[in-house]
Amino acid sequence: MKRLTGSLLARLVLGYALIAVVFASAWLWSLYGPLKQAALNQQQRNLTAVAQAAALVAAHSTETPGAIARQLVARTDLRLTIIASDGRVLADSNFAASSMENHLHRPEVVAALAGQTGVARRVSRTEKQEELYVAVPASVGGGRVALRVSQPLAQIEQIAARSRRMGLALLAGSLILAVGIAILTTRQATYPIGVLSRTAEKMADGDLSVVVPTVPTDLEGLADALAALRNQMRARIEALESEKVTLRTTLDGLGEAVLLLEGADIRLANAAASRLFRTPVGGWRNTPLSAAGLPGGLEAAIDAHRMGQETYASTLPPDPTGRVLRLLVAPLGRGAAPGRTIVSVADVTELARLDSVRRDFVANASHELKTPAAGIRLLAQSAEIAASDGDVKQALVFAGQIEAEAARLQRLVGDLLDLSRLEAVPAPDAVTDVRQVVENAVVSHRSAAARKGLEVVTDFSAVQGRDVYVAADRTDVAIALDNLLDNAINYTNAGSVRIAVEALDARIAISVTDTGPGIHPEHQPRVFERFYRVDKGRDRGAGGTGLGLALVRHVVDRSGGSVTLDSSPGEGSRFTLNLPRAL
Ligand code: ADP
């Protein structure tokens, strides 16, 4: 702004000064020249008048030419010279005529002797100064002479010099005035521009809260444009900021780690990246990929594919900690962002585990189904042979075995169906009356227990006279209880099976205790796995599907409860369902 004002000031001052000089010079020139000329003309006319008057006096005078000359110009600054027709100086009011040279060739004298008025202007050889000469024809003592009157021009020169000095002073004065006015008007004119300019500078520095000042009318357009620009910039920046926040929030909301690479440098990393690789958010900004400390295999895979043309997707082999990562490298390449790459890394360890569990389950289930199916086929063929041999008794034995295998198959299919049912989303707000579901389960198992001579005891003493409801699906609880009672009766050869219900603060505990063989501690953590059996041959023979306790665990997981096992070999087992109490 200073530079702008400075140059404007200089230009305005120069302009004003030029105008002042031109006008003052023109004025001086138009005044000074004619003035001097008028003075000269006037002097010339005066001298002519004096000369003519003197010629008249001299013609009638009887005095000597010397006396005439002296008397005529006495007490004036005029000089009077009488020159004979041969150029001789007859008399001079100021000098001795005898000492003066012949004046025959002086132009004014030449004209006067020729009968005209002669005028000349030159430096006098006698007076040694510039003089104005006027000579007229005259007669002295009957002889024709030239009567010349002269006067020094010093006076006119003095007047001219004075007026020149005054003119110059005037010029200087107008110059100073012009400069002063220029400075003042420039200051006044540029002040609002300066204010607007400072406002614009503040905006350029990022301060968009500035208030555009009120300025004179002719600058209002500029001020309005500046205010509009500021508002637009503010709106744009706000929009950009909010877009940035939205983008950041979206990125941070992603479950997958996302990195934006520029060349081999990390420009951006989201919150999931810092969680996955344990780095503070933003800690990777502008860090070379090689310095980020990513697992070796991951870094190598990113590096190998970041300059590629195609998107690369791959699930990497488990790292030393057993983590399985799925990597996606998408070069943004060509166009808007050359050399930029989007990398997304997802921790798929759990997915990979579930996948392998599912594969194992399908293999196990197929195997479990295959065995009774093959058995049934074999037994049916044997029964057929026995029947055709007429051995009805043997055929009946095979038929009984077929029925047992079919029952096992049915149980297995039933358990598989239960399992798939339990994998569906549970019904919300389900409430189950524990007393009722326990009594139903006992009723349906009583005959099986009686066949083995086992006593089934239910114990509601701890919840006497109180309603006992759990926040779980009725069928779920029935499945869990059926499986626990099945196992208790199946694996117990003598004694009893006892079901007790207790109400604890926020949960209901339903325990099934038997007097069976118990479970060795080494098997206890695994009995809830699918198809896990403690003694494969014996337990399968006992009719178990290997899915019972897996179903129990599913039930408690779904309802937010838990299942515990207390057992030691030879001392029976106690399974306890802990289910959330319904209020
Ligand atoms: P299964 O259908 O074979 O009983 P489960 O999943 O119900 O399968 O049980 C897994 C294994 O745990 C059984 O094979 C058995 O060895 C053991 N088990 C379960 N309940 C009892 C129990 N009450 N007493 C002793 N062992 C049991």
Q: Does residue 234 lie in a domain region?
A: no
CATH code assigned at 456? 3.30.565.10
Residue 203 lies in a domain: no
| CB distance 482 to ligand 1 below 6 Å | no
**Where does a domain end: 422, 446, 472?**
422
Is there a single domain that holds both residue 175 and residue 30? yes
Separation CA 382–CA 402 (nearest Å): 10
Query: Is residue 517 within 6 Å of ligand 1 at its C-beta?
Result: yes
- Nearest-CA neighbor of 233 among 210, 266, 256, 257? 210
Question: Are residues 37 and 131 both part of a single domain?
Answer: yes
- Please answer whether residues 326 and 316 qualify as being in contact, where contact means their C-beta atoms are separated by less than 8 angstroms: yes
Contact 114, 99 (CB under 8 A): no
Please list the residues that pair with 122 across neighbouring strands: 131
Number of Cβ within 10 Å of residue 100's Cβ equals: 17
Same domain assignment for residues 322 and 379: no
CA of 524 to the centre of ligand 1 (A): 10
Q: Whole-structure pTM over 0.75, yes or no? A: no
Q: Is 534 in the pocket of ligand 1 (CB under 6 A)?
A: yes
Ligand 1 centroid from CA 534, angstroms: 7
Are 292 and 383 part of one and the same domain? no
Amino acid in position 105: H
- End-of-domain residue from the set 342, 366, 383: 342
In a domain, 213, yes or no: no
Among the candidates 188, 217, 241, a domain finishes at: 188
- CA of 512 from ligand 1 middle (Å) equals 13
User: Are 312 and 167 within one domain?
Assistant: no
Domain presence at residue 56: yes
CA distance 217 to 215: 6
* The two three-digit tokens of residue 47, written as one number: 């001298």
Query: Same domain for 565 and 465?
Result: yes
In which element (H, E) is residue 458 found? Answer: strand 455-459
Does residue 260 contact residue 285 with C-beta atoms inside 8 Å?
no
- For the record, the structure tokens of 440 come out as 């139903």
**Is 503 in the same domain as 463?**
yes
- Nearest residue to 145 (alpha-carbon basis) of 91, 100, 196: 91
Question: Do 137 and 119 share a structural domain?
Answer: yes
C-alpha span between 541 and 347 (Å, rounded): 42
- Which atom of ligand 1 is nearest the CA belonging to 572? 24
Quick one: which atom of ligand 1 is closest to the CA of 535?
Answer: 16
Point out the ligand 1 atom lying closest to the alpha carbon of residue 517.
Answer: 25
Residues 269, 184 share a domain: no
Core vs surface per residue 488-517: b (16+ CB within 10 A) or e = bbbbbeeeebbbbbbbeeebbbbbbbbbbb
Ligand 1 atom closest to 551 (CA): 6
Q: Is 454 in the pocket of ligand 1 (CB under 6 A)?
A: no
From the alpha carbon of 539, which atom of ligand 1 is closest? 14
544 lines ligand 1 (CB under 6 A): yes
Beta-sheet pairing, 432-433 with 469-470: antiparallel
Distances (CA, A) of 483 to 415, 517, 547, 554: 10, 17, 9, 12
How far away, in angstroms, is 459 Cα from ligand 1 center?
A: 23
Task: Tell me the CA distances in angstroms from 306 to 26, 171, 298, 325, 348, one per residue in order.
Answer: 82, 80, 12, 17, 22
Ligand 1 and 331: CB distance under 6 A: no
Q: Which atom of ligand 1 is nearest to the CA of 542?
A: 3
Pairing of strands 496-503, 455-459: parallel
**Atom 14, ligand 1: residue with shortest CA distance:** 533
**511 C-beta closer than 6 A to ligand 1:** no
- Domain assignment of residue 517, yes or no: yes
Predicted confidence pLDDT, tens digits, the chain (583 residues): 455 556 767 787 788 788 878 887 888 788 777 888 888 899 899 999 999 999 998 888 888 888 888 888 888 889 999 999 999 999 999 888 888 899 999 999 999 999 999 999 988 887 788 889 999 999 988 889 999 999 888 877 887 788 788 888 888 888 888 888 888 888 887 888 888 888 889 988 988 888 888 887 888 888 899 899 999 999 999 999 999 999 989 999 999 999 999 888 898 888 898 888 887 666 777 888 888 888 888 888 998 888 888 899 999 988 888 889 999 999 886 665 668 899 999 999 999 998 988 898 888 889 888 988 999 999 999 999 999 999 999 999 999 999 999 998 998 999 999 888 887 777 778 899 999 999 999 999 999 999 999 999 999 999 998 889 999 999 999 999 999 999 999 999 999 999 999 999 889 999 999 999 999 999 999 999 988 888 876 666 666 788 999 999 999 999 999 999 999 999 999 999 999 999 7
What spacing in Å lies between the alpha carbon of 470 and ligand 1's midpoint? 25
Instruction: State whether 436 and 413 are in the same domain.
Output: no
Ligand 1 centre and the CA of 461: distance in Å? 28
Q: Do 123 and 70 belong together in one domain?
A: yes
546 Cβ inside 6 Å of ligand 1: yes
Q: Do the Cβ atoms of 57 and 72 come closer than 8 Å? A: yes
Does ligand 1 have an atom closer than 6 angstroms to the CB of 149? no
Residue 441 within a domain:
yes
Protein residue with least CA distance to atom 13, ligand 1 = 533
Residue whose pair of structure tokens reads 């006015």 in the numeric block: 181
pLDDT at 338: 65
Cβ-contact 250, 272 below 8 angstroms: no
- Residue 532: CB within 6 Å of ligand 1? yes
386 in the Ramachandran plot: left (φ > 0), alpha (ψ -120 to 50) or beta?
A: alpha
Of all protein residues, the one whose alpha carbon is nearest to atom 19 of ligand 1 is 487
Q: Judge whether 438 lies within some domain.
A: yes
Is the distance from the beta carbon of residue 549 to the nearest atom of ligand 1 less than 6 Å? yes
pLDDT of residue 33: 75
Q: What is the CATH number of the domain that holds 378?
A: 1.10.287
* 73 in Cβ contact with 57 (< 8 Å): no
For atom 23 of ligand 1, the residue with the nearest CA is: 488
Q: Are 141 and 48 found together in one domain? A: yes
Count CB neighbours of 87 within 10 A. Answer: 16
Range of the domain at 42: 1-188
Q: What is the pLDDT of residue 281?
A: 60
Of all protein residues, whose CA lies closest to atom 12 belonging to ligand 1? 527
Q: Is residue 386 part of a domain?
A: yes
Ligand 1, atom nearest to 533 Cα? 14
The verdict on the CB of residue 565 being under 6 Å from ligand 1 is no
Q: How far is CA 9 from CA 14, 181, 399, in A?
A: 8, 11, 122
Q: What spacing in Å lies between the alpha carbon of 487 and ligand 1's midpoint?
A: 6
Q: Is the dihedral of CA 197, 199, 200, 202 positive or negative?
A: positive
For residue 510 the two structure tokens come to 């339903």
Q: Does the CB atom of residue 572 touch ligand 1 within 6 A?
A: no
List the CATH number of the domain containing 321. 3.30.450.20
The answer, yes or no, to whether any atom of ligand 1 lies below 6 A from the CB of 118, is no
Total domains, the chain: 4
Dist. CA 471 → ligand 1 center (Å): 26
Nearest to 122 by CA among 135, 139, 138, 112: 135
Looking at residue 379, its amino acid is L
Question: Closest ligand 1 atom, CA of 523?
Answer: 12
CA dist list (Å): 186 to 61, 63, 191, 214, 215 = 76, 77, 8, 19, 16
351, 360, 356, 376: which is closest to 546 by C-alpha?
Answer: 360
pLDDT at 282: 64
How many other C-beta atoms can be found within 10 angstroms of the C-beta atom of residue 439? 14
